[in-house]
Structure 1
Amino acid sequence: MSTRQYEQHLFDEYYDLEMLRNISQCIKIMSMQNKQQNTLGELYQAFNSICDEAHNTLRSIEEYTNELENVQLSNRKLDEEIAKKTSILQDLTGTIDNIDDDNNELCGLLSLDLGF
């Protein structure tokens, strides 16, 4: 092998090695990009899961708020009914007191008439 051929052979091998290094570097870069894409994909999925969970939580809060409003409305209606019945009870108590007073008065009159 002549010197020129040997130099050409070394140059070809060096070129092949450089090409292999470049290919290896490209593979490393692509691998890193792929890992970054996978990481971004995982982050995106995690973010979507968090958003879904937040949406579900908000929906639950709205449902509980509606239930609470219904309970409060029901309580107000019950309070109104209690107030009405308390008023009726007070009226009846007053009427009973009046009847009791009338009975006492009648008993007093009867005792006078009968001489007791």
Structure 2
Amino acid sequence: MRFSLKTSDEAQRILLEMKDITNITPNILSRYAISLSLAQPEPVSKFNYNTRGLEFNRHILTGKYDVVFKALISHKLQKELTDEEYYPDYIKAHLERGIRLLHAEYKYAGNVENFLVNLSNYKFGGNM
């Protein structure tokens, strides 16, 4: 079982840029990103992202919500996941997609205040 994953270099660039802008740490931004990805109606696609970016240990990335993230991903897939499938495979796929969604949300908002308000009002509703 693996307990760490590395993001793509593009994901690292976005996370560090957003950290500088928002003052939110990359692991917290990543949790938002995974959540945004899970809220999408389309299934996450298999990925071929490089591993030249930030390294996250499982307990830092998902924290006390690890079981929740695994359950949400399993529910989305409508299948039980092994730990090896869940982390790093599906977490990385949702993280990579979600980081790009998070960045788009920031660009749409135009500033930190609007971005944080939009995130707090995001409807995660029934498409999970």
Smaller-chain TM-score bracket: under 0.3
Q: Which has the higher contact order (CA 8 A, sep 6+)?
A: 2
Q: Flag the structure with higher helix content.
A: 1
Q: Flag the structure with higher strand content.
A: 2
Q: Which is greater in Rg?
A: 1
- Scaled by the length of structure 1, the TM-score of the pair is 0.22
- Scaled by the length of structure 2, the TM-score of the pair is 0.20
